[in-house]
Amino acid sequence: MESLVSTEWLAGESITSDLRIIDASSHLPDAKRDARAEFEAGHICGAIFMDLAGLIDDDAPVENTLPSPEKFASRMALLGLGDGSRIVLYDDSAIHSAARAWFVLKLFGAQNVAILDGGLAKWKAEGRPLTAEPIDLRKRHFTAWHNAKSLRSKAQMLANIQSRAEQVVDARGAARYAGTAPEPRAGMQPGHIPGALNLPYTQLYNADGTFKDKAGIRAAFEDAGVDLSRPIVTSCGSGVTACVLIFALHLVGKSDVALYDGSWAEWGADPQTPKETGASPAISH
C-alpha cells in the first residue's frame, strides 16, 4: 500500500480483516464543528472515528501534546487497530488533520499507514456512498514504541537557533508567521522562531484538496528557501499542520525530518523565548 491512496483505490479495496479506515477529522475551536457528530451523521463505509483531538497528554502544560505510548496503544487496541493492520486515514478538516494522525501512528510504530488523497471532500464530490451505520470493533493488540528521533523539544529548538544545524519551517499562514495577524490562542506573542522559514501548509495542495505531485512539493519547499539536502524541523500553531509538511516531505523521499510538537502554543506563550517578526527571508525581497 502506498502512503497516499486515491479514492478510486479505496472504493475498489474490499474491507478485509487487516484493513482499517479511520476518520481522523479534527477542527480548531473557531471552526465550531463537531467532528464526532459529523462522523456519526455520515462516513465512509467501514470507517471508525479516531477522536484525534482527545489523543493527547491531558497532564501536559502545552495543548495538543502527544500522549504516552501506553495511552496510544490502549486507544488503538480499542479501535481494533493491531500489529500488522493496514490503515487508511482521511479527514474533512481545513487543517488536514489526517497528516497529524499519520505522523502519530508512524511515531508509535505503525508500519503500513496511508492518507486518502483529497479526503472526505473528494469522496463526496465524486458521489461515493456514505453510511451512518457503526461497525463492531474487536479489540486487538497494538505494540507501541516511541521514536524520539522524530521529535524536538523547546530546549533543542533554542539550541538550534545558535547552531542552525536544522532548518525550521513554519507551516502557519504568512500573516501569523510575520506577526501581523493575531494569534487564535490567548496569551500568545506574535511572530516566529528566529531563523525559521515559512511554508503555509495550504501551498502543498491542489484546488481539489489533493496533494501536489512530487515536483510541485519540491518546488513549494524550494520557493520557501528550504534546502532539501539539509535536515528539517517543522512547526506550526499546535503541532497539527506542521505534520502536513512532514507528510509531503515523506512523499518526496525525505526522512531526516522532525516535529517541534510544542510549536507556537509553547514558544509563543513563553515570554523568555526569542521571537522574530516580518516576512520570510525567501520572500522579503
* Residues in Cβ contact with 127 at an 8 Å cutoff, skipping those fewer than 6 apart: none
Same domain, 115 and 58: yes
Half-sphere exposure (Cβ direction) of 149: Cα atoms closer than 13 Å: 8
Query: Considering the domain boundaries, does residue 153 fall inside one?
Result: yes
Among candidate residues 159, 221, 244, 148, the one with its CA nearest the CA of residue 193: 159
pLDDT in tens, 71-101: 988 888 888 888 888 999 999 999 999 999 9
CA trace torsion 97, 99, 100, 102 (10° rounding): 130
Q: Is the pLDDT of residue 285 over 70?
A: no
206-214: average pLDDT? 97
Same domain, 108 and 235: no
Q: Is the pLDDT of residue 141 over 90?
A: no
Side by side, which strands form the sheet with 4-5? 4-5, 112-116, 86-90, 19-23, 47-49
Same domain, 109 and 43: yes
Q: Can you give the length of the chain in residues?
A: 285
Q: Which of 73, 116, 144, 236 is catalytic?
A: 236
Q: Is the pLDDT of residue 163 over 50?
A: yes
Query: Considering the domain boundaries, does residue 272 fall inside one?
Result: no
- pLDDT for 134: 87
Query: Considering the domain boundaries, does residue 135 fall inside one?
Result: yes
Do 232 and 167 contact (CB within 8 A), yes or no? yes
Query: Considering the domain boundaries, does residue 279 fall inside one?
Result: no
Could you tell me the residue range of the domain that residue 91 belongs to? 4-146
Q: Which helix (H) or strand (E) holds 89?
A: strand 86-90
Range scoring the smallest mean pLDDT among 69-73, 125-129, 196-200? 69-73
Cell numbers representing residue 128 in the block: 461515493
Neighbour-count burial of 246, counting CB atoms closer than 10 A to its CB (0-12 exposed, 13-18 middle, 19+ buried): buried
Query: Considering the domain boundaries, does residue 283 fall inside one?
Result: no
pLDDT in tens, 232-244: 999 999 999 999 9
Query: Would you call 243 a catalytic residue per the annotation?
Result: no
Domain boundary among 103, 130, 146: 146
Q: How many CB atoms lie within 10 A of CB 110?
A: 23
Work out how many domains the chain is built from and give that number: 2
pLDDT in tens, 104-114: 999 998 989 99
Q: Is the pLDDT of residue 273 over 60?
A: yes
Proportion of the chain above pLDDT 90, given as a percent: 73
User: What mean pLDDT value characterizes the chain?
Assistant: 93
Rounded distance, CA 86 to CA 199, Å?
31
- pLDDT for 63: 80
Cell numbers representing residue 17 in the block: 480483516
